[in-house]
Chains A and B, each alone.
Chain A
Amino acid sequence: MSHSFTLDGQETAFVPGQTIMEAAQAAGVYIPHLCHNPDYAPHGSCRVCLVGVGRRQVSACTTRVMEGMEVDNASESVQANRRAVLQMLFAEGNHICPACERSGNCQLQAVAYYTGMLAPHYPPFFPRRPVDASHPDFIIDFGRCILCELCVRASRDHDGKRVFAISGRGLASHLVIDSPSGLLGDSCFAAADRAAHVCPTGAILPKHKGFERPIGERLYDREPISKVGDLRAHEDEVD
């Protein structure tokens, strides 16, 4: 027996157990997201994949589809809430795109373009977070971290290393590194780790190749992420 739900008015098939995100992707419908990566367990922390279900808005990556469910992925109210979530992510970090090597290849930026964000709107925090350049192959700019925990999950679940963790609570939450000095260079992190290649922003960056591809010719410079797809599908071109 086949199962179906309604996605933006379209009858859409799903397999019981699938999340809204998985069913939408299987049907070729893009739902914007940052902390979601099909290789790892859903996290539901970035809240960018908000969709309307009945009178509530839920994260598509952590909500299972139910028979007959009506999901709103395209209305202006859903898109406006996603935009507000992104504006908060921009305002609470240091996202100076013109100075970032990841610009144009950045999923945070691409999703913000997709939702039509023109400015961060909120007063910026300008948090003081020093850059860690101690590793020979990678650099970490903590000011660009959005706490999606993809590096945490990749290091723990795939690399078996647990190099990263989130410490602190609420506004004080921050990424920490498992090494005696707290520096990446003193940890067992390696360029071949999955954790080195899953960051959706410019927080974890490879050294020595920042501007190999010029601005204007990068992944999301000409076409939206809904057509281009996630960084995950383009790792060879980016890292």
Chain B
Amino acid sequence: MTDKPRVATTSLCGCFGCHMSLLDIDERILQLVQLVRFDRTPLTDIKTIGECDLGLIEGGVANAENVEVLREFRRHCKVLVAVGACAVNGGIPAMRNQFTLKECLEESYVGGVGVHNPGIPNDPEIPLLLNQVHPIHEVVKVDYFLPGCPPSADTLWTFLTELLAGQPIAFPYTQIHYD
């Protein structure tokens, strides 16, 4: 069954809520695995991405690793989708854009309430933070946007089934929300 469309997913600067919402399609996931083959995704724990038909991106772009992963997904996916508020416009993490990165780090690791052993982490394995959090369409071309925090299971199901069936994608009013 190698001719099934291949789907990859990842979470950048997100909370995995959108992935939880995908799992919230419940038993329809059995139908979904009949329709697609999952490539790199936290659901399969495959770590490298192959050539895919569809890439679902949760989360915005907040650090250097997010940029790298996002570009890799763009290179390998025919259709790339921003899933959820953070991928669409930065979401909750983008609220740190009201402050400088220095202020954020000092609040978290130096002067904040309840900080022990103050000091900003500088282990080379930790991806460097960007000055601001960005929606993914500021970094790569995005083919489709699914707003919501998270998009509901029904929203994701409507999108996936209509896209896979080659239908124009149309949502009922209750399936498109920004919160």
Taking beta carbons and an 8 Å cutoff, which residues of A are in contact with B?
Answer: 90, 94-100, 103-104, 109, 112-113, 116, 118-121, 123-124, 126, 128-130, 143, 215, 221-224
Say yes or no: A124 contacts B135, CB within 8 Å.
yes
A224 to B177, CA, bound (A): 11
Known contacts A98-B85, A119-B82: does B178 contact A103 (CB below 8 Å)?
yes
Interface residues on chain B, size class: 20 to 34
Q: Does B32 contact A (CB under 8 A)?
A: no
Chain A residues near B88 (CB, 8 Å)?
A: 118-120
Residue among A96, A113, A130, A224 making CB contact with B92, cutoff 8 Å: A96
In the complex, residue of chain B having the shortest beta-carbon distance to the beta carbon of A118: B145
Q: Does B22 contact A (CB under 8 A)?
A: no
In the complex, residue of chain B having the shortest beta-carbon distance to the beta carbon of A113: B176
A113 to B146, CA, bound (A): 12
Q: Does B71 contact A (CB under 8 A)?
A: no
Say yes or no: A126 contacts B173, CB within 8 Å.
no
In the complex, residue of chain B having the shortest beta-carbon distance to the beta carbon of A131: B98
Say yes or no: A103 contacts B173, CB within 8 Å.
no
Known: A124-B134, A130-B98; 4 extra A-B contacts, CB below 8 A, are A97-B149, A118-B147, A120-B89, A124-B138
Number of A-B residue pairs with CB-CB distance less than 8 Å in the complex they form: 78
Known contacts A103-B179, A119-B147, A126-B90: does B173 contact A97 (CB below 8 Å)?
no
In the complex, residue of chain A having the shortest beta-carbon distance to the beta carbon of B149: A98
Chain A residues near B90 (CB, 8 Å)?
A: 96, 124, 126
Chain B residues near A121 (CB, 8 Å)?
A: 137
Chain A residues near B178 (CB, 8 Å)?
A: 95, 97-98, 103, 109, 112
Residue among B85, B144, B174 making CB contact with A96, cutoff 8 Å: B85
Say yes or no: B138 contacts A123, CB within 8 Å.
yes
Interchain residue pairs with CB less than 8 A apart (16)? A90-B89, A94-B97, A96-B85, A96-B90, A97-B179, A98-B178, A109-B178, A118-B146, A119-B137, A120-B88, A124-B90, A124-B134, A126-B132, A128-B97, A215-B179, A221-B174
Chain B residues near A116 (CB, 8 Å)?
A: 176
Minimum Cβ distance to chain B for residue A92 (Å): 12
Minimum Cβ distance to chain B for residue A133 (Å): 14
Say yes or no: A99 contacts B132, CB within 8 Å.
no
Q: Does B95 contact A (CB under 8 A)?
A: yes
A143 to B178, CA, bound (A): 17
